[in-house]
Structure 1
Amino acid sequence: MSATYDGFPGAVAVSRLRVYDWPTPDDRPGGGTPHLHLTCTEGYVVTAGRGTVQTLTTSGCTESPLGPGTVAWFTPGTIHRLTNDGGLEITVVMQNSGLPEAGDAVLTLPQDLLADPGTYADAVRIPADVPEAAQVRAARARRDLATRRFLELRQATESGDPQPLAAFHRAAAALVRPRLDAWEERWRQGALAAAQATGTQLDALRRQDARHLTEARVVSTGATARGRFGMCGRLDVYPGI
Protein backbone atom coordinates (compact mmCIF):
# COMPACT_ATOMS: atom_id res chain seq x y z
CA MET A 1 0.00 0.00 0.00
CA SER A 2 1.37 3.40 -0.97
CA ALA A 3 2.37 5.71 1.86
CA THR A 4 1.19 8.72 -0.15
CA TYR A 5 -1.96 9.45 -2.11
CA ASP A 6 -1.08 11.60 -5.12
CA GLY A 7 -4.57 12.82 -6.03
CA PHE A 8 -6.37 15.97 -4.98
CA PRO A 9 -6.72 16.20 -1.16
CA GLY A 10 -9.24 13.75 0.25
CA ALA A 11 -9.87 12.32 -3.22
CA VAL A 12 -12.36 15.06 -3.95
CA ALA A 13 -12.57 17.13 -7.14
CA VAL A 14 -13.40 20.74 -7.86
CA SER A 15 -14.98 22.63 -10.72
CA ARG A 16 -15.88 26.24 -11.36
CA LEU A 17 -19.59 26.74 -12.03
CA ARG A 18 -21.32 29.75 -13.56
CA VAL A 19 -25.01 29.08 -13.01
CA TYR A 20 -27.28 29.40 -16.04
CA ASP A 21 -28.88 32.83 -16.36
CA TRP A 22 -31.74 31.73 -18.60
CA PRO A 23 -35.19 32.57 -17.11
CA THR A 24 -36.87 29.50 -15.63
CA PRO A 25 -40.38 28.03 -16.03
CA ASP A 26 -41.31 29.39 -12.58
CA ASP A 27 -40.13 32.92 -13.42
CA ARG A 28 -36.77 32.90 -11.66
CA PRO A 29 -34.11 35.06 -13.36
CA GLY A 30 -31.94 31.99 -13.89
CA GLY A 31 -31.22 28.55 -12.53
CA GLY A 32 -29.79 25.08 -12.94
CA THR A 33 -31.19 21.65 -13.63
CA PRO A 34 -32.63 19.83 -10.57
CA HIS A 35 -31.01 16.46 -9.86
CA LEU A 36 -29.72 14.19 -7.12
CA HIS A 37 -26.59 12.15 -6.49
CA LEU A 38 -26.77 8.55 -5.33
CA THR A 39 -23.40 7.97 -3.64
CA CYS A 40 -21.76 11.39 -3.26
CA THR A 41 -21.93 14.41 -1.02
CA GLU A 42 -21.49 17.70 -2.91
CA GLY A 43 -20.40 21.04 -1.52
CA TYR A 44 -20.65 24.66 -2.70
CA VAL A 45 -18.29 27.54 -1.97
CA VAL A 46 -19.93 30.65 -3.41
CA THR A 47 -17.43 33.06 -4.95
CA ALA A 48 -19.68 35.65 -6.65
CA GLY A 49 -23.27 36.67 -7.21
CA ARG A 50 -26.51 35.83 -5.45
CA GLY A 51 -29.06 33.04 -5.60
CA THR A 52 -30.43 30.12 -3.67
CA VAL A 53 -30.21 26.35 -3.49
CA GLN A 54 -33.59 24.64 -3.31
CA THR A 55 -33.55 21.13 -1.87
CA LEU A 56 -36.10 18.32 -1.70
CA THR A 57 -35.83 15.22 0.48
CA THR A 58 -38.32 12.91 2.14
CA SER A 59 -38.17 15.34 5.09
CA GLY A 60 -39.51 18.18 2.97
CA CYS A 61 -38.32 21.22 1.02
CA THR A 62 -35.90 24.00 1.88
CA GLU A 63 -34.51 27.07 0.14
CA SER A 64 -31.19 28.47 1.35
CA PRO A 65 -29.74 31.83 0.26
CA LEU A 66 -26.35 31.84 -1.45
CA GLY A 67 -23.92 34.74 -1.59
CA PRO A 68 -20.16 35.29 -1.63
CA GLY A 69 -18.56 33.31 1.18
CA THR A 70 -21.48 30.92 1.68
CA VAL A 71 -20.48 27.27 2.15
CA ALA A 72 -23.21 24.65 1.79
CA TRP A 73 -23.31 20.91 1.19
CA PHE A 74 -25.81 18.07 0.96
CA THR A 75 -25.70 14.30 1.20
CA PRO A 76 -26.76 11.63 -1.34
CA GLY A 77 -30.46 11.59 -2.13
CA THR A 78 -30.93 15.36 -1.84
CA ILE A 79 -32.61 16.73 -4.94
CA HIS A 80 -31.08 20.15 -5.42
CA ARG A 81 -31.72 23.06 -7.73
CA LEU A 82 -29.75 26.28 -7.98
CA THR A 83 -31.49 29.56 -8.72
CA ASN A 84 -29.49 32.51 -10.00
CA ASP A 85 -30.48 36.03 -9.00
CA GLY A 86 -27.46 37.52 -10.74
CA GLY A 87 -23.88 36.49 -11.47
CA LEU A 88 -23.91 33.36 -9.31
CA GLU A 89 -20.54 31.58 -9.44
CA ILE A 90 -19.58 28.62 -7.29
CA THR A 91 -16.56 26.44 -6.67
CA VAL A 92 -18.10 22.98 -6.47
CA VAL A 93 -16.40 20.36 -4.29
CA MET A 94 -17.37 16.79 -5.16
CA GLN A 95 -16.83 13.56 -3.26
CA ASN A 96 -15.20 10.50 -4.84
CA SER A 97 -12.88 12.25 -7.29
CA GLY A 98 -15.66 14.13 -9.01
CA LEU A 99 -18.03 11.21 -9.48
CA PRO A 100 -21.07 13.55 -9.42
CA GLU A 101 -19.95 15.01 -12.76
CA ALA A 102 -18.92 11.58 -14.06
CA GLY A 103 -22.27 9.83 -13.85
CA ASP A 104 -23.49 9.88 -10.24
CA ALA A 105 -26.47 12.09 -10.99
CA VAL A 106 -30.04 11.63 -12.14
CA LEU A 107 -32.10 14.58 -13.35
CA THR A 108 -35.71 14.97 -12.25
CA LEU A 109 -37.17 14.12 -15.63
CA PRO A 110 -40.71 12.81 -16.20
CA GLN A 111 -41.07 9.21 -15.09
CA ASP A 112 -41.37 7.80 -18.62
CA LEU A 113 -37.91 9.15 -19.47
CA LEU A 114 -36.44 7.24 -16.51
CA ALA A 115 -37.64 3.88 -17.85
CA ASP A 116 -34.22 2.54 -18.87
CA PRO A 117 -30.63 3.79 -19.30
CA GLY A 118 -30.96 4.25 -23.08
CA THR A 119 -34.10 6.35 -22.88
CA TYR A 120 -32.60 8.46 -20.12
CA ALA A 121 -29.30 8.94 -21.98
CA ASP A 122 -31.14 10.18 -25.06
CA ALA A 123 -33.17 12.61 -22.94
CA VAL A 124 -30.15 14.22 -21.22
CA ARG A 125 -27.66 14.25 -24.09
CA ILE A 126 -26.22 17.59 -25.21
CA PRO A 127 -25.00 17.05 -28.80
CA ALA A 128 -21.33 17.84 -29.23
CA ASP A 129 -21.23 18.12 -33.02
CA VAL A 130 -23.63 21.05 -33.44
CA PRO A 131 -23.22 24.84 -33.16
CA GLU A 132 -23.19 26.27 -29.64
CA ALA A 133 -26.61 27.86 -30.15
CA ALA A 134 -28.08 24.40 -30.66
CA GLN A 135 -26.29 23.15 -27.54
CA VAL A 136 -27.79 26.04 -25.58
CA ARG A 137 -31.28 25.12 -26.80
CA ALA A 138 -30.75 21.47 -25.81
CA ALA A 139 -29.36 22.33 -22.37
CA ARG A 140 -32.15 24.81 -21.69
CA ALA A 141 -34.89 22.40 -22.83
CA ARG A 142 -33.41 19.67 -20.61
CA ARG A 143 -33.28 22.04 -17.64
CA ASP A 144 -36.85 23.26 -18.12
CA LEU A 145 -38.20 19.72 -18.42
CA ALA A 146 -36.45 18.68 -15.20
CA THR A 147 -37.54 21.88 -13.43
CA ARG A 148 -41.22 21.27 -14.18
CA ARG A 149 -40.97 17.73 -12.80
CA PHE A 150 -39.09 19.00 -9.74
CA LEU A 151 -41.89 21.45 -9.04
CA GLU A 152 -44.42 18.60 -9.32
CA LEU A 153 -42.40 16.43 -6.92
CA ARG A 154 -42.13 19.32 -4.49
CA GLN A 155 -45.86 19.99 -4.61
CA ALA A 156 -46.67 16.32 -4.02
CA THR A 157 -44.26 16.12 -1.07
CA GLU A 158 -45.60 19.31 0.47
CA SER A 159 -49.17 18.04 0.13
CA GLY A 160 -48.31 14.84 2.00
CA ASP A 161 -48.07 12.42 -0.93
CA PRO A 162 -44.72 10.56 -0.72
CA GLN A 163 -45.33 8.26 -3.69
CA PRO A 164 -44.01 10.43 -6.59
CA LEU A 165 -40.70 11.08 -4.82
CA ALA A 166 -40.40 7.41 -3.85
CA ALA A 167 -41.00 6.39 -7.48
CA PHE A 168 -38.29 8.79 -8.62
CA HIS A 169 -35.85 7.32 -6.08
CA ARG A 170 -36.55 3.79 -7.31
CA ALA A 171 -36.09 4.77 -10.94
CA ALA A 172 -32.85 6.64 -10.20
CA ALA A 173 -31.39 3.64 -8.39
CA ALA A 174 -32.31 1.34 -11.27
CA LEU A 175 -30.76 3.67 -13.86
CA VAL A 176 -27.31 3.70 -12.26
CA ARG A 177 -27.10 -0.01 -11.41
CA PRO A 178 -25.10 -0.89 -14.57
CA ARG A 179 -22.41 1.63 -13.55
CA LEU A 180 -21.80 0.44 -10.01
CA ASP A 181 -18.74 -1.70 -10.74
CA ALA A 182 -16.98 1.24 -12.41
CA TRP A 183 -17.97 3.53 -9.54
CA GLU A 184 -16.60 1.07 -7.00
CA GLU A 185 -13.25 0.98 -8.81
CA ARG A 186 -13.14 4.79 -8.84
CA TRP A 187 -13.83 4.79 -5.09
CA ARG A 188 -11.14 2.17 -4.42
CA GLN A 189 -8.51 4.10 -6.37
CA GLY A 190 -9.58 7.42 -4.87
CA ALA A 191 -11.30 7.93 -1.53
CA LEU A 192 -10.44 4.50 -0.12
CA ALA A 193 -6.80 4.74 -1.23
CA ALA A 194 -6.52 8.24 0.29
CA ALA A 195 -7.88 7.08 3.64
CA GLN A 196 -5.65 4.01 3.65
CA ALA A 197 -2.59 6.13 2.85
CA THR A 198 -3.28 8.25 5.93
CA GLY A 199 -3.50 5.08 8.01
CA THR A 200 -0.15 3.92 6.63
CA GLN A 201 1.44 7.28 7.48
CA LEU A 202 0.08 7.20 11.04
CA ASP A 203 1.47 3.69 11.57
CA ALA A 204 4.84 4.76 10.19
CA LEU A 205 5.02 7.82 12.44
CA ARG A 206 4.24 5.68 15.48
CA ARG A 207 7.32 3.63 14.53
CA GLN A 208 9.30 6.87 14.16
CA ASP A 209 9.54 6.17 10.43
CA ALA A 210 9.34 9.42 8.46
CA ARG A 211 10.45 8.14 5.05
CA HIS A 212 7.20 9.20 3.36
CA LEU A 213 8.16 12.82 4.00
CA THR A 214 11.02 12.45 1.53
CA GLU A 215 8.47 11.63 -1.21
CA ALA A 216 6.77 15.04 -1.01
CA ARG A 217 5.84 16.67 -4.30
CA VAL A 218 3.85 19.66 -5.56
CA VAL A 219 1.19 19.61 -8.29
CA SER A 220 -0.33 22.56 -10.11
CA THR A 221 -2.83 22.25 -12.92
CA GLY A 222 -5.23 24.23 -15.06
CA ALA A 223 -8.69 23.39 -16.32
CA THR A 224 -8.97 20.51 -18.77
CA ALA A 225 -12.20 21.96 -20.22
CA ARG A 226 -13.79 25.40 -20.03
CA GLY A 227 -17.41 26.41 -20.44
CA ARG A 228 -18.73 22.86 -20.66
CA PHE A 229 -22.52 22.56 -20.45
CA GLY A 230 -23.15 21.07 -17.02
CA MET A 231 -26.32 20.29 -15.14
CA CYS A 232 -26.45 23.63 -13.35
CA GLY A 233 -24.41 25.91 -15.56
CA ARG A 234 -21.21 26.35 -17.55
CA LEU A 235 -18.33 24.39 -16.04
CA ASP A 236 -14.59 24.79 -15.96
CA VAL A 237 -13.43 21.22 -15.31
CA TYR A 238 -10.20 20.18 -13.61
CA PRO A 239 -8.35 16.85 -13.65
CA GLY A 240 -10.12 14.03 -11.85
CA ILE A 241 -13.56 14.61 -13.41
Structure 2
Amino acid sequence: MTSPLFPGGVAVSDLAVYDWDAADGRCGGSPHLHTASGEGYIVIGGSGAVETLSSEGFVEHPLAVGDVLWFSPGTVHRLVNDGELRLLVVMQNSGLPEAGDAVLTFPSAVLDDAEAYTAAALLPVGAGREDAARARRDLALEGYAELLGAWRADGASALAELHARAARLVRDRVPQWQELWVSTVAAETERTRAQLEALRAGLPGTLGEASVVRAVPTPGDRGYGMCGRLKTWEFSETTARDEVIAPSKEHE
Protein backbone atom coordinates (compact mmCIF):
# COMPACT_ATOMS: atom_id res chain seq x y z
CA MET A 1 0.00 0.00 0.00
CA THR A 2 1.34 3.45 -0.91
CA SER A 3 1.60 5.88 1.99
CA PRO A 4 -0.69 8.87 1.42
CA LEU A 5 0.84 12.30 0.99
CA PHE A 6 0.20 14.98 3.57
CA PRO A 7 -3.31 16.31 2.73
CA GLY A 8 -3.33 18.41 -0.41
CA GLY A 9 0.20 17.36 -1.33
CA VAL A 10 1.66 20.15 0.81
CA ALA A 11 4.70 20.25 3.10
CA VAL A 12 4.84 21.67 6.62
CA SER A 13 7.68 23.02 8.73
CA ASP A 14 8.12 24.76 12.08
CA LEU A 15 10.03 28.00 11.48
CA ALA A 16 11.81 30.05 14.14
CA VAL A 17 12.50 33.28 12.24
CA TYR A 18 16.07 34.57 12.39
CA ASP A 19 16.70 37.17 15.09
CA TRP A 20 19.78 38.50 13.30
CA ASP A 21 19.71 42.26 12.84
CA ALA A 22 20.18 43.68 9.37
CA ALA A 23 21.59 46.88 7.89
CA ASP A 24 18.17 48.56 8.12
CA GLY A 25 17.91 47.78 11.85
CA ARG A 26 15.29 45.06 11.46
CA CYS A 27 15.73 41.40 12.32
CA GLY A 28 14.56 38.59 10.09
CA GLY A 29 15.04 36.39 7.07
CA SER A 30 16.10 36.47 3.44
CA PRO A 31 13.72 38.08 0.93
CA HIS A 32 12.80 35.68 -1.86
CA LEU A 33 10.00 34.47 -4.11
CA HIS A 34 8.71 31.07 -5.20
CA THR A 35 8.39 30.41 -8.90
CA ALA A 36 5.75 27.65 -8.81
CA SER A 37 4.44 27.25 -5.26
CA GLY A 38 2.18 29.20 -2.95
CA GLU A 39 3.05 29.50 0.75
CA GLY A 40 1.00 29.91 3.91
CA TYR A 41 1.88 31.07 7.44
CA ILE A 42 0.17 30.16 10.70
CA VAL A 43 1.69 32.24 13.51
CA ILE A 44 2.27 30.09 16.61
CA GLY A 45 4.55 32.35 18.65
CA GLY A 46 5.96 35.86 19.06
CA SER A 47 5.30 38.79 16.76
CA GLY A 48 6.62 40.42 13.64
CA ALA A 49 5.60 41.10 10.07
CA VAL A 50 6.02 39.96 6.51
CA GLU A 51 6.83 42.50 3.83
CA THR A 52 5.49 41.58 0.40
CA LEU A 53 5.93 42.96 -3.10
CA SER A 54 3.42 41.64 -5.61
CA SER A 55 0.97 42.84 -8.25
CA GLU A 56 -0.74 44.64 -5.35
CA GLY A 57 2.40 46.67 -4.64
CA PHE A 58 4.47 46.81 -1.45
CA VAL A 59 2.63 45.92 1.76
CA GLU A 60 3.75 45.18 5.30
CA HIS A 61 1.49 42.65 7.02
CA PRO A 62 1.68 42.50 10.85
CA LEU A 63 1.95 38.99 12.31
CA ALA A 64 0.72 37.95 15.76
CA VAL A 65 -0.17 34.61 17.32
CA GLY A 66 -3.22 33.13 15.61
CA ASP A 67 -2.80 35.03 12.34
CA VAL A 68 -3.03 33.08 9.07
CA LEU A 69 -1.69 34.56 5.82
CA TRP A 70 -0.76 33.09 2.46
CA PHE A 71 0.41 34.26 -0.93
CA SER A 72 0.80 32.99 -4.47
CA PRO A 73 3.95 32.29 -6.54
CA GLY A 74 5.87 35.38 -7.61
CA THR A 75 5.24 37.28 -4.37
CA VAL A 76 8.50 38.64 -2.97
CA HIS A 77 8.40 38.22 0.80
CA ARG A 78 10.63 39.15 3.72
CA LEU A 79 9.91 37.99 7.26
CA VAL A 80 10.64 40.49 10.05
CA ASN A 81 11.08 39.23 13.62
CA ASP A 82 9.99 41.68 16.31
CA GLY A 83 10.41 39.08 19.05
CA GLU A 84 10.52 35.27 19.04
CA LEU A 85 8.45 34.98 15.86
CA ARG A 86 7.55 31.37 15.12
CA LEU A 87 5.45 30.07 12.26
CA LEU A 88 3.98 26.85 11.02
CA VAL A 89 4.74 27.12 7.30
CA VAL A 90 2.58 25.30 4.77
CA MET A 91 4.14 24.96 1.32
CA GLN A 92 2.27 24.01 -1.84
CA ASN A 93 3.69 21.30 -4.12
CA SER A 94 5.61 19.27 -1.56
CA GLY A 95 9.13 18.73 -2.87
CA LEU A 96 9.36 21.60 -5.36
CA PRO A 97 10.55 24.25 -2.88
CA GLU A 98 13.26 21.84 -1.70
CA ALA A 99 14.23 21.28 -5.36
CA GLY A 100 15.02 24.95 -5.92
CA ASP A 101 11.59 26.53 -6.50
CA ALA A 102 12.66 29.61 -4.49
CA VAL A 103 14.77 32.45 -5.88
CA LEU A 104 16.49 34.85 -3.51
CA THR A 105 16.46 38.57 -4.25
CA PHE A 106 20.20 38.88 -4.79
CA PRO A 107 21.48 41.95 -6.68
CA SER A 108 20.65 41.83 -10.39
CA ALA A 109 24.28 41.16 -11.35
CA VAL A 110 24.16 37.92 -9.32
CA LEU A 111 20.73 36.94 -10.63
CA ASP A 112 22.04 37.30 -14.19
CA ASP A 113 24.93 34.88 -13.57
CA ALA A 114 23.71 31.33 -12.82
CA GLU A 115 27.07 30.20 -11.41
CA ALA A 116 27.36 33.24 -9.16
CA TYR A 117 23.78 32.74 -7.98
CA THR A 118 24.38 29.08 -7.12
CA ALA A 119 27.58 29.91 -5.25
CA ALA A 120 25.81 32.58 -3.21
CA ALA A 121 22.70 30.49 -2.49
CA LEU A 122 24.25 27.20 -1.39
CA LEU A 123 25.28 26.73 2.24
CA PRO A 124 28.31 24.67 3.26
CA VAL A 125 27.90 21.42 5.16
CA GLY A 126 29.12 21.53 8.75
CA ALA A 127 31.18 24.37 10.22
CA GLY A 128 30.48 27.87 9.02
CA ARG A 129 26.88 27.16 8.06
CA GLU A 130 25.40 29.87 10.29
CA ASP A 131 27.82 32.53 9.05
CA ALA A 132 27.08 31.53 5.45
CA ALA A 133 23.31 31.68 6.05
CA ARG A 134 23.66 35.16 7.49
CA ALA A 135 25.85 36.31 4.58
CA ARG A 136 23.28 34.91 2.16
CA ARG A 137 20.52 36.79 3.98
CA ASP A 138 22.49 40.03 3.86
CA LEU A 139 23.17 39.65 0.12
CA ALA A 140 19.46 39.02 -0.49
CA LEU A 141 18.65 42.17 1.49
CA GLU A 142 21.13 44.13 -0.64
CA GLY A 143 19.30 43.01 -3.77
CA TYR A 144 15.94 43.60 -2.08
CA ALA A 145 16.86 47.24 -1.44
CA GLU A 146 17.88 47.51 -5.10
CA LEU A 147 14.55 45.97 -6.14
CA LEU A 148 12.46 48.30 -3.97
CA GLY A 149 14.36 51.30 -5.30
CA ALA A 150 13.66 50.20 -8.87
CA TRP A 151 10.02 49.50 -8.02
CA ARG A 152 9.55 52.98 -6.54
CA ALA A 153 11.13 54.50 -9.65
CA ASP A 154 9.64 52.28 -12.37
CA GLY A 155 6.63 50.57 -10.82
CA ALA A 156 5.50 47.13 -11.94
CA SER A 157 8.22 46.76 -14.56
CA ALA A 158 10.83 46.32 -11.81
CA LEU A 159 8.97 43.29 -10.44
CA ALA A 160 8.47 41.95 -13.96
CA GLU A 161 12.24 42.09 -14.54
CA LEU A 162 12.83 40.10 -11.35
CA HIS A 163 10.26 37.51 -12.44
CA ALA A 164 12.02 37.18 -15.82
CA ARG A 165 15.40 36.69 -14.13
CA ALA A 166 13.91 34.10 -11.77
CA ALA A 167 12.35 32.16 -14.66
CA ARG A 168 15.69 32.04 -16.47
CA LEU A 169 17.46 30.79 -13.34
CA VAL A 170 15.10 27.86 -12.72
CA ARG A 171 14.38 26.88 -16.33
CA ASP A 172 16.78 23.91 -16.41
CA ARG A 173 15.29 22.47 -13.20
CA VAL A 174 11.72 22.40 -14.47
CA PRO A 175 11.78 18.92 -16.13
CA GLN A 176 12.76 17.42 -12.75
CA TRP A 177 10.00 19.42 -11.04
CA GLN A 178 7.44 18.21 -13.56
CA GLU A 179 8.35 14.57 -12.88
CA LEU A 180 8.14 15.16 -9.14
CA TRP A 181 4.82 16.98 -9.41
CA VAL A 182 3.26 14.31 -11.64
CA SER A 183 4.29 11.52 -9.26
CA THR A 184 3.01 13.30 -6.13
CA VAL A 185 0.55 16.20 -6.31
CA ALA A 186 -0.96 15.27 -9.68
CA ALA A 187 -1.26 11.63 -8.61
CA GLU A 188 -3.09 12.66 -5.43
CA THR A 189 -5.42 14.88 -7.46
CA GLU A 190 -6.16 12.01 -9.83
CA ARG A 191 -6.94 9.72 -6.89
CA THR A 192 -9.45 12.26 -5.62
CA ARG A 193 -11.05 12.56 -9.07
CA ALA A 194 -11.38 8.78 -9.32
CA GLN A 195 -12.75 8.56 -5.78
CA LEU A 196 -15.42 11.16 -6.49
CA GLU A 197 -16.47 9.19 -9.58
CA ALA A 198 -16.71 6.03 -7.47
CA LEU A 199 -18.79 7.74 -4.79
CA ARG A 200 -21.05 9.24 -7.44
CA ALA A 201 -21.71 5.68 -8.58
CA GLY A 202 -22.46 4.61 -5.02
CA LEU A 203 -19.22 2.64 -4.67
CA PRO A 204 -16.68 2.84 -1.78
CA GLY A 205 -13.72 3.22 -4.16
CA THR A 206 -10.47 3.48 -2.22
CA LEU A 207 -12.05 3.62 1.25
CA GLY A 208 -10.89 0.06 1.91
CA GLU A 209 -7.27 1.22 1.47
CA ALA A 210 -7.51 3.79 4.30
CA SER A 211 -4.27 4.20 6.27
CA VAL A 212 -2.58 6.43 8.85
CA VAL A 213 0.96 7.85 8.74
CA ARG A 214 3.05 9.46 11.45
CA ALA A 215 5.79 11.78 10.15
CA VAL A 216 9.31 11.29 11.51
CA PRO A 217 11.22 14.36 12.74
CA THR A 218 14.30 15.07 10.62
CA PRO A 219 17.37 14.12 12.73
CA GLY A 220 19.68 16.76 14.17
CA ASP A 221 19.29 20.41 15.09
CA ARG A 222 17.03 22.80 13.26
CA GLY A 223 18.26 23.48 9.75
CA TYR A 224 19.15 26.88 8.28
CA GLY A 225 16.40 27.97 5.93
CA MET A 226 16.01 31.19 4.00
CA CYS A 227 13.97 32.83 6.75
CA GLY A 228 15.02 31.07 9.93
CA ARG A 229 15.82 27.85 11.73
CA LEU A 230 13.63 25.01 10.47
CA LYS A 231 12.21 21.97 12.18
CA THR A 232 11.03 19.57 9.51
CA TRP A 233 9.58 16.09 9.22
CA GLU A 234 10.18 13.28 6.79
CA PHE A 235 7.15 12.24 4.73
CA SER A 236 8.05 9.11 2.81
CA GLU A 237 6.83 5.59 2.16
CA THR A 238 9.12 4.42 4.95
CA THR A 239 7.59 6.86 7.44
CA ALA A 240 6.91 5.30 10.82
CA ARG A 241 3.54 3.81 11.64
CA ASP A 242 2.16 3.35 15.13
CA GLU A 243 1.72 -0.16 16.48
CA VAL A 244 -1.33 -1.82 15.03
CA ILE A 245 -3.66 -3.33 17.63
CA ALA A 246 -5.44 -6.40 16.34
CA PRO A 247 -9.21 -6.63 16.90
CA SER A 248 -10.24 -8.54 19.98
CA LYS A 249 -12.03 -11.85 19.73
CA GLU A 250 -15.32 -10.27 20.76
CA HIS A 251 -15.21 -8.07 17.63
CA GLU A 252 -14.39 -10.90 15.24
TM-score w.r.t. structure 1 length?
A: 0.91
Question: Which residue number corresponds to residue 170 of structure 1?
Answer: 164
Identity, in percent, stands at 49
Question: Which residue number corresponds to residue 132 of structure 2?
Answer: 138
Cα distance in 1, alignment partners of residues 228 and 183 from structure 2: 29
1:113 corresponds to which letter in structure 2? V
Which fold has the larger relative contact order, with Cα–Cα distance below 8 Å and residues 6 or more apart in sequence?
1
Cα distance in 2, alignment partners of residues 198 and 58 from structure 1: 32
Cα distance in 2, alignment partners of residues 125 and 212 from structure 1: 42
**Number of matched residues?**
235
Give the ranges of 4+ consecutive aligned residues of structure 1 lying more than 6 Å apart after TM superposition. none
Alignment pair present for 1:198 and 2:195: no
What does 1:1-241 correspond to in 2, within 5 Å? 6-28=4-26, 30-129=27-126, 131=127, 134-225=128-219, 226-240=221-235
Kindly provide the CA deviation profile for residues 41-84 of structure 1, in whole angstroms up to 9, marking residues without a partner as x: 00001100100000012431000001111100010110000000
Gaps of 5+ in 1: none
Measured at CA, do residues 207 and 19 of structure 1 come closer, stay the same or move farther in structure 2, by a change above 3 Å? same
Q: What displacement does 1:201 show?
A: 0.7
DSSP-derived class of the 2:5 partner: coil
Select between 59-68 and 79-88 the one with higher mean Cα deviation: 59-68
Kindly provide the CA deviation profile for residues 154-206 of structure 1, in whole angstroms up to 9, marking residues without a partner as x: 13212344444333221110010000011111111122111111111111112
Question: Which residue number corresponds to residue 243 of structure 2?
Answer: none
* Larger gyration radius, structure 1 or structure 2: 2
Give RMSD over aligned pairs: 1.9
TM-score w.r.t. structure 2 length?
A: 0.87
Kindly provide the CA deviation profile for residues 87-129 of structure 1, in whole angstroms up to 9, marking residues without a partner as x: 0111110011142233100000011212243221101111103
Aligned residues of 2:215 and 2:235 also touching (Cα < 8 A): no
Cα distance in 2, alignment partners of residues 6 and 202 from structure 1: 17
